Amino acid sequence: MKIGVPREVVAGERRVAVTPETVQSLRGLGFEVIVEAGAGVGARFTDDAYLAAGATVIDDTRALWSGTDIIIKVRPPAQNEAMGCHESDLLPHEGRLISLLFPGQNEEVVARLAERKATVLALDCIPRISRAQKMDVLSSMSNIAGYRAVIEASHHFGSFFGGQITAAGRTRPARVLIIGAGVAGLSAIAAARGLGAEVRAFDTRAAAREQVQSLGAKFLEVDFEEAGEGAGGYGKQMSKEFIEAEMRLFAEQCAEVDIVITTALIPNKQAPILITQEMVESMRPGSVIVDLAAERGGNCEATVPDQTVEVSNVTIIGYTDLTSRLATHASQFFGNNVVHLLDDMCGDEGFYVDLEDEAVRGALVLHVGEMMWPPPPIVPKAPPPAPAPPPVVAPADPVLPAVDEPDTGAGLGRSLGGLALALSFAAIGATADAAFIQHFTVFVLSCFVGWQLIWNVTPALHTPLMAVTNAISGIIIVGGIIQGAATETNLSVILGVVAILVASINVFGGFLVTQRMLKMFRK
């Protein structure tokens, strides 16, 4: 199958849906990739780089749309001013399109595509489930937008983010308030903390507390009990009482902080106003507000989409193209998400739309012209039933064990073995001299005592520090000391010294290894 990657026609859009690196991944999945000339220039990817990766580069836009099986692009289809037509009309009959679409906001575009009997997957509708994280374009782009928001704020803020102590004077760290601790908010927290700022964050979802604190920021709360978790990993619309409480909190914070970054956005709804005109006027001169919800009206009352304005000496940034301002990495992340989606849609028989796949079904807007959006809600799988407790059985009456007849064969064997051992000892005593008898007696007793010492160690102490080998080495050292205490130097003294040396290496080596092992479990 052929994949077509057209050049984006929306003004200011620098991203491209497929990069030279992802071209190689798509070819590995069996696709042929055709790229419109100049499609990657805004993201610093040249046509030569695409050719080197194995893609085909063509100049004819209409041929690219009509001659490929799947069109992959970043922005929803829009008016192509150079060609004087809408991109939806360039898609062939029963063609396939994969892009950001936002079907709730672009009903006219969806209707145009339905007339073409198109099959359309909206990357912004990928459900936020565990297995679809690698395809989640919105999370990838939000991560970049949060980082870029801090960079834009630092560009307009007239001081250091981190505190400085110099010969010329001392500056305190910047105070940053981040409203919304989703993907973009957490990315902004990490970036601001990395620059040395003092960061505070607020979110209606209690689950965000640990994530905020793990990044070194202070989590702000209102004195009002209400759960803020909504469907699909987003926050929900809160009650009027809760909103009033959080607005009082924001008013207090705006008078203290230097930078405010807002990320509050509910899908398919106008962005809620969180920063009023009065709050803006209460901020210090030179403060900065970065409104990541500007595309849906903005969280700040004074935000102007796609512009930077100054109100009461406060700079308000309403850019809607923050991801495009990091076009190289944004394109790479976008392309990786697309590769994972196509990998999920390619089975043994090639590319197909699996309506039973939760990720594909969630993103499917049109299927051969038939409206498939919104998808049915994902029903969480019920946990497996808990195993039934074992039946309680009443204790039976105690049964006395039967008295077995003694095993005469085993008893006879033990008796003969003991008799043979006694006869051996008697023979040694009758034939050996007194010196040998003395050494032999010490040997037998040492074996018995050593066996009792080693095998009666408490099992809880069987560690590298109190192992059986260390106990044996200790006995060897004691024996070596006894042998080496002789006044004359002979073979037994030399062997005793060697035994002490070798056993000591084992013991002290065991101590060293034990210490290294214990350090592995210490913070």
Residues in CB range of 361: below 8 A, 6 or more apart? 354, 355, 372, 375, 376
Q: Which value, in Å, is the radius of gyration of the alpha carbons in the chain?
A: 39
Q: Name the burial class of residue 413, with classes exposed (0-12), middle (13-18) and buried (19+) by CB atoms within 10 angstroms of its CB.
A: exposed
Give me the DSSP letters along 356-414.
T-HHHHHHEEEETTEE--SPPPPPPPPPPPPPPPPPP-PPPPP-PPP-PPP-HHHHHHH
Q: Which residues contact 440 (CB under 8 A, 6 or more apart)?
A: 428, 432
Query: DSSP secondary-structure letter at 5?
Result: E
Catalytic residue positions? 128, 133, 136, 139, 234
Alpha carbons 61 and 80: distance in angstroms, whole number: 10
Alpha helices in 47-205 (DSSP H): 47-53, 61-66, 87-90, 107-115, 137-156, 183-194
Tokens of 180: 């919304």
**Residues 265 and 300 sit within 8 Å (Cβ to Cβ):** no
Distance CA 217, CA 199 (A): 5
Other C-beta atoms closer than 10 Å to the C-beta of 175 total 18
To the nearest 10°, the Cα dihedral for 451, 453, 454, 456?
Answer: 110
- 147: β partners: none
The DSSP 8-state label assigned to residue 270 in this structure reads P
User: Residue 139: what are its φ and ψ, rounded to 5°?
Assistant: -65, -40
d(CA 200, CA 216): 9
C-alpha span between 345 and 255 (Å, rounded): 51
